[in-house]
């Protein structure tokens, strides 16, 4: 299953940078590409009122909750 793949294989990214807002993220992608460095916005962090911590990975129609 997709969930097993995320737990067993290294399906991470090379480097993650968390920024305050979408504009900053877009600027950083543009700067990276200007230096011929591949970069993309791959997600976002959202506030939750829940006491439970979880990571939700969405890939197409599939969703994995860790």
Which residue has better confidence, 7 or 53?
A: 53
pLDDT of residue 52: 76
Tens digit of each residue's pLDDT (9 = 90 or more) over 28-64: 999 999 999 989 988 888 787 887 778 888 878 888 8
Residue closest to 54 by CA, chosen among 43, 45, 65:
65
Across the range 2-20, mean pLDDT stands at 75
In the predicted model, what is the mean pLDDT of residues 18-24? 92
pLDDT exceeds 70 at position 5: yes
Asked if residue 23 has pLDDT above 90, the reply is: yes
- Write phi, then psi, for 17 (nearest 5 degrees): -130, 125
């Amino acid at each position: 299953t997709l969930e097993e793949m995320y737990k067993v294989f290294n399906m991470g990214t090379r480097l993650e940078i968390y920024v305050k807002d979408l504009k900053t993220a877009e600027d950083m992608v543009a700067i990276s590409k200007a230096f011929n460095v591949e970069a993309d916005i791959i997600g976002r962090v959202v506030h939750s009122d829940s006491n439970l911590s979880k990571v939700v990975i969405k890939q197409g129609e599939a969703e994995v909750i860790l």
